[in-house]
Structures are given as C-alpha cells and as structure tokens.
Amino acid sequence: MRPSETSDRRLLEGCLTPSAVASTRRPNRRRQLIELPLRDPCNLCEGMAGREERWAIIDQSEHTLTVINPWQFEVGQCCVITRRHVATLLDLSAEECGAILVSAQRVAEALVETYQPLGILTFQNNGVFSGQETPHFHFHVVPRQKGSDWGIGPPQLATFEGAGRQRGTSHDPSADAQRRERVRVSARQLVETAELIRSNLRA
C-alpha cells in the first residue's frame, strides 16, 4: 500500500525536510503488521501544502500542527498532526511523541478556557481495524458536553463491527455518511472556531 516515489514527493511537498523524507522510507516491521486505510492523496499533507479548502490551523510547533477537525462531532474538536508524513504511533520519533503531547495539552487548556467542557476526550487510531480513516498520524483532542452526538467514547466504537472488511479494500465511510454530514461545517466556520480557540492559547 506504499505510494510510488513520485507520489511520495507530491504528497510530502512543503511538509518535510529531506532527512525526514528519507526516514519515512525506513522499513518498519511493526507497521507492516497493521493494515492502513487507502487514501491518495493524503488529505492532511494536502492541507499542509495549501491545497485543502476546509483547513484551519490553531497552533504549530517544530514537529506538529494543531488543526480543527472538519467534522465537528463536538464544537471545538481538533487534531494534533505530525508535519512529517507518518501513518501510526509506531512510526513516530521520540521527539515527535513528546511534541504531540505538549501540543495536545496546550490546546486542551485553550478548549477548557473557550468552552468550559465537562471533560476532554483524547484518542488516536492505528490501522483500519482501530477505525483509522486517514493514513497520517493525528491525535484527537475533543471538548465533551452533555447531549453530544457520541455517547461515551470515540464514535468508532459504535460501528466497530464494520471494520471487519476484506483486507486491502478501501475504507468506505458510507454507513456514517448521514451522521457525518450533520456535523460537517463550512470553511468559514472552521476558521472562526480556530481563531476563537487560538485566542485562548497560553502565551
């Protein structure tokens, strides 16, 4: 499921240093055991390259970006993503692991200040059978409120049986289409939400 070298260059343009690109080509036995979703081009790399309309950045660091999730299952739901194109937790460097949690805590504090939620949910999926839909590492940070559309825990738990499809087939979210459309927000709303949360980031 590895894209061609040409596709790699196209997807990663503007996202990686030459050394980081090289590191993505190192074999990783642990990763090979996990089936990844098929998505070409990578929508997160497209966003970083400025080719994704529904894209709003809240915060950034050397190794991460914090962006608004285009599907707002909860108002203010966001993701910390790696600048480097890696698929799962198993592919991260030690520096990236540290930067992700620092960024997640930073935006969680801003979410508490912005929305006064009843709780903060964090989760991250590795592979098709965990509910991963995009083959680029992303760590969800979600302010939880009463009466939300999720119930308890991540929404993937409600449809986990649907993950048992034939190996190598594309991820098909059609069963969730109606629900996802209900929480899809416009590009303008994403920008406005990002600006509001950003205003509450600690200096």
The Cα–Cα gap between 26 and 92 comes to: 12
pLDDT for residue 167: 46
Q: What is the full DSSP assignment across 124-153?
A: ---SGGGT--SSS-EEEEEEE-TT-SS-SS
The Cα–Cα gap between 84 and 23 comes to: 9
Q: Which residues are catalytic?
A: 138
Q: How far is CA 23 from CA 16, 27, 37, 63, 97, in A?
A: 10, 9, 21, 14, 15
Q: What is the pTM for the complete model shown?
A: 0.73
CATH topology of domain 5-153+173-198: HIT family, subunit A (3.30.428)
| Beta bridge partner(s), residue 59 | 66
Instruction: Tell which residue, 78, 64, 70, has the closest CA to residue 108.
Output: 78
pLDDT tens digits, 1-39 = 334 333 333 333 344 443 444 444 455 555 567 888 888
Q: What is the full DSSP assignment across 95-113?
A: HHHHHHHHHHHHHHHHHHH
Task: Name the residue with higher pLDDT: 92 or 158.
Answer: 92
Task: Name the residue with higher pLDDT: 119 or 179.
Answer: 119
User: What are the sequence ranges of the domains in the chain?
Assistant: 5-153+173-198
pLDDT for residue 190: 94
β pairing state of 78-82 and 64-68 = antiparallel
Cα first-last separation, the chain: 42
pLDDT tops 80 at residue 142: yes
pLDDT tens digits, 71-82 = 888 899 999 999
